[in-house]
Amino acid sequence: MSLLDAARAVRENAYAPYSRFKVGAAIRGASGAIYRGVNVENVAYPEGTCAEAGAIAAMVAAGETELVEVAVIADSPEPVPPCGGCRQKLAEFGTGSTPVTLATTEGKQFATTIAELLPGRFDQSHMSHT
């Protein structure tokens, strides 16, 4: 199964009764395993979580901390861009050149990378004095 197919399938399980905007994310760990996530909203709106965050949590819970590919899909007119927080979360576990595919349920796709999504990102080097 392709990563995008995994994201498309899991999107059906998104819990988005407030925005009605279901998002599915799938990431491939360095082992080759696929981890899936959906957005999970809450009546206390700020407590909702994004699909990307769910997929990352599943990967880390399974014992992996390196991702090599990302796919995100939503029913949007254009491929949905990850929110700022999710860009930082993806950067934590991928590299600048990690491929990210953004897609719509209608079949539009946009290929990008973590570096393109988050230029000038804060990383460990900024905490070093040497």
Q: Minimum CB separation from ligand THU for residue 38, in Å?
A: 7
Question: Does the protein bind ligand THU through residue 42 (CB under 6 A)?
Answer: no
Question: Does the protein bind ligand THU through residue 86 (CB under 6 A)?
Answer: yes
Identity of the residue, 31 or 116, whose beta carbon is nearer to ligand THU in the bound complex: 116
Of 12, 47, 52, 78, which one is the catalytic site residue?
Answer: 52
Q: Could you give the CA distance from residue 115 to residue 113 in angstroms, rounded to a whole number?
A: 5
CB neighbour burial string for 20-29, b if at least 16 within 10 angstroms, e if fewer: eebbbbbbbb
Residue 47 annotated among the catalytic residues of the structure: no
Residue 79 CB partners (closer than 8 Å, separation 6+): 72, 102, 103, 104, 108, 109, 110
Which listed range, 3-11, 13-21, 27-35, 55-63, lies at the site for ligand THU (CB under 6 A)? 13-21
